[in-house]
Amino acid sequence: MRASGGEWLDSIRRRAARPRPGWTRRPARALTGCAALLALGWPVGPAHAAAPGLSDSQRKEAEFIYFDRCSGCHGALRKGATGPNITDEQMLKKALPELEKTIYEGTDAGMPGWGRTGEMTRDETALMAKFLQNPVPIPPELGLEAMRASHKVHVPIAERPRKPEHKRDIDDLFGFILRDVGKGAIIDGKSKELAGIVDTGFAVHIFRASATGRYFYTIGRDGKVSLIDLYEKKPQVVAEVRVCLDARSVDVSKYKGPKGDFVDKLAIVGCYWPPQMVVLDGQTLEPMKVISTRSSTYDTNEYHPEPRVATIVASHADSEWVVAIKETGMVWLVDYSDLDNLKMTQIAAERFLHDGGWDATQRYLLIAANMRDQMVVVDTEEKKFITKFETGIKPHPGRGANWIDPEFGPVSATTHLGEGLIVVYGSDPKGHPEHAWQIVREAETAGPGLFLKTHPKSNHIWTDATLSKEEGANQQICVFRKEDFEAGPNCWQATEHGKIVHFEYNKAGNEVWTSVWDKQGEIIVYDDKTLKEKQRITGDWLVTPTGKWNVYNTVHDIY
């Protein structure tokens, strides 16, 4: 018998509170979100006779490991996107030792070696190999009634401060993900002091600043959205809701024009499972509308049961969110000016859309179709597809990087999951049409990476090599000079533990902050002009820091 919405949400909370042995600096591995629901006994198809047997406890443990480490690339139904199809039909074609080796050591195509990097033990990789040869558990759906059961307003709008209750510069605050403890840290960009720690969803994927800069929105992998008020004397969560079982993206409404003033009025969450978008009240997070993303692929017109929402950005040209639908290869322009009479423009682009952001003019969406090794360009003013072009193995730009090249004019760039490569391409079709959407430069980095970053006031482009399998490479930082890109990068080892991941500038554009990603996490602050280390932020609270966002840069889409 299926549990009700309230019952399974209560189960999530109970499981999140259970301890897990063997961890000392972070809470127990809790079954949250999608994994917790699967553990309640949702339907599983019959196993093939050759599938290894699993006890109930083994299955529950494997479901969490899959949710935590695997579902982002392979999908809840294991049909693949950034990663390949790993359904039981495919995995039974491989021997268990072969599967264990792949999980433990990773691949040259961009899959991390979960054992090699310390995230999974030998026993856990062996368990995961067996799990993959068993049928896929089918997650439940999630509607408005169940979402509303999780909705909480901790501080009503009328009781919130009308002006900041502190002297910190809100525009120069940073939101930091503390991935494995389900928390976020707010750090003052000027003093480098911790302003506060807030509870969030599990394994938060992004912080998004509201259009006014007052709030941070966070989205956890478990689909929990938290609204953080930066006016409070100590930043705090003023509202929360869980609208997905697995999620990655959130953004707010920014438009003010003839259609009305929608600044900070609405928010949208993109789900991995169920495959849908959810529109929320931007001030209270009350769920308002669910929009399913299930449809047919743009190229073969075949129905797809799991089209996940990848990147979402708020259009600067209209009252629209620009939403990338991963598996079907569509970019949807969702007009939020009239939710009762919803209008959407569906643009055919390329399959397996993933990370992306704006060009320097904030007109063109530049997004990676990483399993097709391509970058895609969509014009949000003309509301149409422009082009796509091949770069390298699995491009992954994050939000990207834009700068002025001394020879080619305005350019943009991407790093890659599958190789240590940065590719630079022209992104100024008006001023430099001969270079627009053409590769103009490329160079090797320290290894496959997740992010690159620059700033209009900087002469540098910073890159990581988080996914590199080469010993010590993922602890390096490589920096290119805009005025002499062809000279290659200046690389150095920044840490002796963990992995370097993600960069962000301060408001002034003269400092770069990066994370040392492990249980003994650190934040390293560099002088962008000299590349010299200025400060290391440490503390018992700094557990598995990953992404970070400066309020000013996020509000103004500076990257």
Q: How would DSSP label each residue in 330-356?
A: EEEEEE-S-GGG-EEEEEE--SSEEEE
Task: Give SS3 for 457.
Answer: coil
Q: How far apart are CA 465 and CA 492, in angstroms?
A: 11
User: Residue 281: what residue type?
Assistant: D
Q: How far apart are CA 265 and CA 282, in angstroms?
A: 5
Residue 35: the pLDDT is 47
pLDDT at 149 over 60: yes
Residue 20: the pLDDT is 33
Domain boundaries, the chain: 5-132
Task: Give SS3 for 44.
Answer: strand
Task: Give SS3 for 512.
Answer: strand
User: Position of tokens 């995230």?
Assistant: 119
Contact 428, 409 (CB under 8 A): yes
Given the residues 34, 70, 91, 277, the one annotated as active site: 70
Compare 117 and 521 and report the one with higher pLDDT. Answer: 521
| pLDDT confidence bin for 42, thresholds 50/70/90 | low
Given the residues 151, 205, 304, 354, the one annotated as active site: 354
Element (H, E) at 411: strand 409-414
Residue 460: the pLDDT is 98
pLDDT at 210 over 70: yes
Residue 70: the pLDDT is 87
Q: Rounded to a whole number, what is the distance in angstroms from the first to the last CA of the chain?
A: 49
Residue 43: the pLDDT is 59
pLDDT at 22 over 80: no
Residue 31: the pLDDT is 46
Q: How far apart are CA 206 and CA 225, in angstroms?
A: 10
Q: How far apart are CA 256 and CA 216, in angstroms?
A: 20
Q: How far apart are CA 483 and CA 410, in angstroms?
A: 13
Contact 146, 5 (CB under 8 A): yes
Given the residues 34, 91, 111, 120, the one annotated as active site: 111
Residue 310: the pLDDT is 95
pLDDT at 45 over 90: no
Average pLDDT over residues 168-194: 97
User: Residue 251: what residue type?
Assistant: D
Given the residues 151, 304, 396, 455, the one annotated as active site: 396
pLDDT tens per residue, range 275-293: 999 999 999 999 999 999 9
Question: How buried is 157 (Cβ within 10 angstroms: 0-12 exposed, 13-18 middle, 19+ buried)?
Answer: exposed
- Percent of the residues in the chain that have a pLDDT greater than 70, as a whole number: 92
Reply yes or no on whether 354 is catalytic: yes
pLDDT at 29 over 50: no
Reply yes or no on whether 271 is catalytic: no
| Of the options 3.30.565.40, 3.40.640.10, 1.10.760.10, 3.40.50.1950, the CATH number for the domain spanning 5-132 | 1.10.760.10
Q: How far apart are CA 35 and CA 52, in angstroms?
A: 20
Given the residues 34, 73, 147, 277, the one annotated as active site: 73
pLDDT tens per residue, range 308-329: 999 999 999 999 999 999 999 9
Contact 490, 479 (CB under 8 A): yes
Reply yes or no on whether 111 is catalytic: yes
Q: How far is CA 521 from CA 112, 207, 246, 340, 524, in A?
A: 19, 19, 25, 46, 10
Residue 368: the pLDDT is 98
Average pLDDT over residues 374-381: 98
Reply yes or no on whether 70 is catalytic: yes
Average pLDDT over residues 333-344: 97
pTM (2 d.p.): 0.86
Residue 44: the pLDDT is 65
Residue 39: the pLDDT is 47
Given the residues 74, 151, 455, 460, the one annotated as active site: 74
* Highest mean predicted confidence (pLDDT) among 78-82, 242-246, 512-516: 512-516
Contact 36, 201 (CB under 8 A): no
Contact 174, 513 (CB under 8 A): yes
Which range among 15-24, 371-380, 461-470 shows the weakest confidence by mean pLDDT? 15-24
Residue 25: the pLDDT is 32
